[in-house]
Structure 1
Amino acid sequence: MIGAGMVGSAIGYGLAGQTIGGRRPRVLMLDGLDTDYRAAKANFGLVWVQGKGLGQPAYQRLSLAATLAWGEFARRLEADSGLPIAYEQNGGLNFCLGDAQMEARARQLDAWHAQTPEFQPSTVMLTRAELMRRYPSMRLGESVSGASLGALDGQVNPLKLMAALQSAFQRKGGELRSSRPVTEVEALPSGGFRIRAGDFAAEAGRVVISAGLGSSPLAAMVGLNVPLSPQRGQLLVTERLAPLLPLPASGLRQTAEGTVMVGVTQENVGYDLSTTSMAGARMARRALDILPDLGRARLVRHWACLRIMTPDGAPVYAASPNCPGVDVATCHSGVTLASLHAGIYAEALLQGSGNQALPTLFHDFHQERFHDRPVQKAA
């Protein structure tokens, strides 16, 4: 495993402790430096499906399957790691400010549900009055006209999730080496691959590249053109507060510890990790429009990190045609998709090589889609 972020750690956990033909594979996970661009540093911790994949039914189905698998995945991970991850699936809200936003959100979700008629609708629109009846302790700002409620949505502590994935990986016999940024993937004439990370080298019969924004140059070494770009996300977090928000919301959630996270921006500014007062003010203003009681809270931190984005916003799962045995897995939705990465995706990797060895859920996410046809951006 090249990369030990949210995606790599989930896949590594799914691979460790498994058996192939009665034998247990040895799994080595190589992580980069603490100063690397790590998307997990800006993770909001949402296990989210409502509205995801609008215009891309395959991505919608993938997200729905992942969310439905999360309950069992969370139970298994906590048992394997011995660590709590604070997972809750009580639903999630997307607040609308004004009637125009309510109407637009309703139309959007109607179109989203129509893409996958095989699934029962999982979201409903709630008026302001309905919100206040359901959640009487939530004091809303005057401009809140209502919200969409996604029954399948939930939240998890992303730091605890990461710790649990890596702990369970090692408990199952996996080896994790930190501060080993991989610089070369070389196919050996006799079969297998040599991986170099500075003065460290290892040989393996199979390789999975899941190194975030570093995946593109590594994938190119095995003949895969995987276009990735950074997208800056800025976040705010408050001091610990009494309960204000009973459910996680898009861009707003209160953690189990009481802090309120506010975010996140979507900025195409290259590899710039700066925070900006303009973005902070915009995020704070919207949060106050929804929950005016936040006006009395003290801001503790404002930071930014870079997401991993493909041209259409959807994941990439690809096997190298030039170097059979090397796979690339990357996405910007590592928390939601963790249940599949540690489950059916890892199981498929153990069973065979090549894109057709993957379950059909993953077949539409080969990187060739960027080179064969026009790209449509996912919602």
Structure 2
Amino acid sequence: MAKDYDIAVVGGGVLGSAIAFGLARDGQRVVVLDEGDIAKRASRGNFALVWVQSKGLGMPAYTGWTIRSTQSWPQLEAELKERTGLDVCLEQTGGFNICLSEREMEARRAMMRQIHAQEGVAKYEVALLDRSEVEKMLPGIGQDVVGGSFCPLDGHVNALRLFHAFHLANHRLGIDYRPNHRVGGIDYDSGLFRIHTSRGEIEAGKIVLAAGNANAHLAPMVGLSAPMQFNCRGQIVVTERLQRFMRYPIGTLRQTDEGTVMIGDSYEDSTDDGGMNFAINSVMLDRAQRTFPFLANVNIIRSWSCLRVMTQDGFPIYDQSETCPGAFVACCHSGVTLAAVHAYVLAPMIARGSLDAQQTQVFSAQRFHVQKAA
């Protein structure tokens, strides 16, 4: 039966773009179906960390998956630059989580112990530093800083340049990008997927659902499941450009390549991606100026909020359909951190037509349906 494409990727954010990039590198004829600018884009509102520390408590395999991606990020940065001429400004010199009280410091110690005590967890270097050690690496910190954790694998990128680089690279690889193609239905028959969009029907031999929270209603159309949270919002505040003062990013505070300071890491129970909660902003700004007191005199130039793409337990979901062979689903919160492993590991599996159970079974949505022992 004739088909328009080898693989259709539903979702044009960082997750879908990274998977499409990997598929096209593998010689697949790919179409990306994207809602366009009407979509609630987490990819345009993320904090853009490439981050390992704190990942994997409760699922040790996620720690290894994250490490694998961060180690492949220099390859991804170099390839995107070679293909597009765009520098995504990867800085991977290590990163901090800062503690503003002894209580926070003890909680950080306990978390690191718990993560590294898990059976089968991938080991990585993380140092717990006192105030004097932090100050040597982050001059100008405030008196409230008592210490923090430092991981040399951590870093950050320019999120919008990454998004641009993926789209340009995908165009040059021959991917057909279809904006304003909201998917409303999917039919499967004898190895062919008919995808009904707001601008017509598309046929493909395989389909990858990488549409963020929309995966929750798309996945059942192809015999899959994507349990998502729909009420998790984050906010970010951005300052004016400053002379470079941070050599390392912090989990809640980073200086971009352009000189602005991004302040974030809020979680709130909300389904509104357009409003702002100034009480939450004030808490974030208070922590920022306690970390670097001089920020109290810096101008705020913009802020925004967006809904986080988050599965019900916070860990990724990767699955393939038994009832509709050739259908795959991918959900994750850390689309930037995991971009390299999605392009170089997950996409080739999809191109071959089957996920490697040894690498991905732990991330199956079946974990939500396993009955707990009494």
TM-score of the pair, normalised by structure 1: 0.92
CA spacing shift, 1:373–1:68, aligned 2, 3 Å: farther
Instruction: Report the counterpart of residue 65 of structure 1 in structure 2.
Output: 68
Q: Whole-Å Cα distance in 1 between the matches of residues 162 and 56 of structure 2?
A: 24
CA contact (8 A) 1:349 1:358 kept: no
**How far did residue 9 of structure 1 move?**
0.2
**How far did residue 199 of structure 1 move?**
3.1
**How far did residue 271 of structure 1 move?**
3.9
Instruction: Report the counterpart of residue 172 of structure 1 in structure 2.
Output: 173
Instruction: Report the counterpart of residue 317 of structure 1 in structure 2.
Output: 318
**How far did residue 116 of structure 1 move?**
6.1
Q: Whole-Å Cα distance in 2 between the matches of residues 147 and 179 of structure 1?
A: 45
**How far did residue 119 of structure 1 move?**
4.2
Q: Whole-Å Cα distance in 1 between the matches of residues 145 and 161 of structure 2?
A: 32
Q: Does 1:205 align with 2:209?
A: no
CA spacing shift, 1:114–1:2, aligned 2, 3 Å: same
What is the CA RMSD across the aligned residues, in angstroms? 1.6
Residue type matched to 2:359 in 1?
Answer: L
Tell me which of 1, 11, 22 is aligned to 1:3: 11
**How far did residue 352 of structure 1 move?**
2.1
Instruction: Report the counterpart of residue 158 of structure 1 in structure 2.
Output: 159
CA contact (8 A) 2:64 2:122 kept: no
CA contact (8 A) 2:141 2:293 kept: yes
Instruction: Report the counterpart of residue 104 of structure 1 in structure 2.
Output: 107
How many residues of Structure 1 are paired with residues of Structure 2 in the alignment? 364
CA contact (8 A) 1:239 1:299 kept: yes
Instruction: Report the counterpart of residue 365 of structure 1 in structure 2.
Output: 363
SS of the aligned residue for 1:275 comes to coil
* Residues 75-86 of structure 1: pairs in structure 2 closer than 5 A: 75-86=78-89
Q: Whole-Å Cα distance in 2 between the matches of residues 92 and 318 of structure 1?
A: 32
CA spacing shift, 1:373–1:301, aligned 2, 3 Å: farther
Residue type matched to 1:372 in 2?
Answer: V
Q: Does 1:34 align with 2:48?
A: no
Q: Whole-Å Cα distance in 2 between the matches of residues 14 and 268 of structure 1?
A: 34
CA contact (8 A) 2:42 2:308 kept: yes
**How far did residue 373 of structure 1 move?**
3.9
Residue type matched to 2:162 in 1?
Answer: L
Tell me which of 92, 98, 111 is aligned to 1:89: 92
Instruction: Report the counterpart of residue 129 of structure 2 in structure 1.
Output: 126
Q: Which moved more, 1:285-294 or 1:194-203?
A: 194-203
Residue type matched to 1:344 in 2?
Answer: V
Q: Write the deviation string for residues 194-221 of structure 1: whole angstroms up to 9, x where unpaired.
A: 1111132110000001111111111111
Q: Whole-Å Cα distance in 1 between the matches of residues 29 and 124 of structure 2?
A: 42
Q: Whole-Å Cα distance in 2 between the matches of residues 322 and 118 of structure 1?
A: 33
Residue type matched to 1:38 in 2?
Answer: R
Instruction: Report the counterpart of residue 14 of structure 1 in structure 2.
Output: 22
Q: Which moved more, 1:109-118 or 1:161-170?
A: 109-118
Q: Whole-Å Cα distance in 1 between the matches of residues 147 and 223 of structure 2?
A: 49
CA contact (8 A) 2:241 2:261 kept: yes
**How far did residue 150 of structure 1 move?**
0.7
Instruction: Report the counterpart of residue 308 of structure 1 in structure 2.
Output: 309
Instruction: Report the counterpart of residue 279 of structure 2 in structure 1.
Output: 278
Q: Whole-Å Cα distance in 1 between the matches of residues 271 and 92 of structure 2?
A: 34
Q: Write the deviation string for residues 310-337 of structure 1: whole angstroms up to 9, x where unpaired.
A: 1110011011111111100111110000
CA contact (8 A) 1:316 1:367 kept: yes
Residue type matched to 1:334 in 2?
Answer: G
**How far did residue 269 of structure 1 move?**
1.7
**How far did residue 115 of structure 1 move?**
2.5
SS of the aligned residue for 1:183 comes to strand
Extract unaligned runs of 5+ from structure 2.
1-8
CA spacing shift, 1:302–1:372, aligned 2, 3 Å: same
SS of the aligned residue for 1:206 comes to strand
CA contact (8 A) 1:229 1:308 kept: yes
CA contact (8 A) 2:60 2:122 kept: no
SS of the aligned residue for 2:308 comes to strand
**How far did residue 372 of structure 1 move?**
1.2
CA contact (8 A) 1:280 1:302 kept: no
SS of the aligned residue for 1:288 comes to helix
CA spacing shift, 1:220–1:234, aligned 2, 3 Å: same
CA contact (8 A) 1:195 1:201 kept: yes
Q: Which moved more, 1:26-35 or 1:109-118?
A: 109-118
Instruction: Report the counterpart of residue 3 of structure 2 in structure 1.
Output: none
Instruction: Report the counterpart of residue 221 of structure 2 in structure 1.
Output: 221
Q: Does 1:43 align with 2:41?
A: no
**How far did residue 33 of structure 1 move?**
2.8
